[in-house]
Amino acid sequence: MAQTNINIRMDEATKIAFDKFCREIGLSTSAAFNIFAKTVVREQRIPFALTTEVPNAVTLAAIVEAEDMQRHPEKYPSYHSAEEMMEDILHEA
């Protein structure tokens, strides 16, 4: 099969990091891009999720709070039943 060249523009830091990764796993940069291209052609899709979904401020705050709850459960109330929790919530209101 005939070979051809392709030029790709990317920032230098990304190129350096990508080249380093490829060397660490025993691939050339060219081989890695060939694997990517052949997978796209075979599967007729980009072989990983592409998304622009970014959590909003409320969701990010909830994530931070949940992580804090995992690290410091003693700072947060705990309940033995849903009724006990609801009673506490309604009592605060």
Over 70: is that where the pLDDT of 74 sits? yes
The answer to whether 28 touches 22, Cβ cutoff 8 Å, is yes
Mean predicted confidence (pLDDT) in 69-81: 93
pLDDT at 72: 94
The residues spanned by each domain of the chain are: 1-50, 57-92
Distance CA 78, CA 84 (A): 9
In one letter, which amino acid is 55?
P
- Per-residue pLDDT, averaged over 44-61, amounts to 89
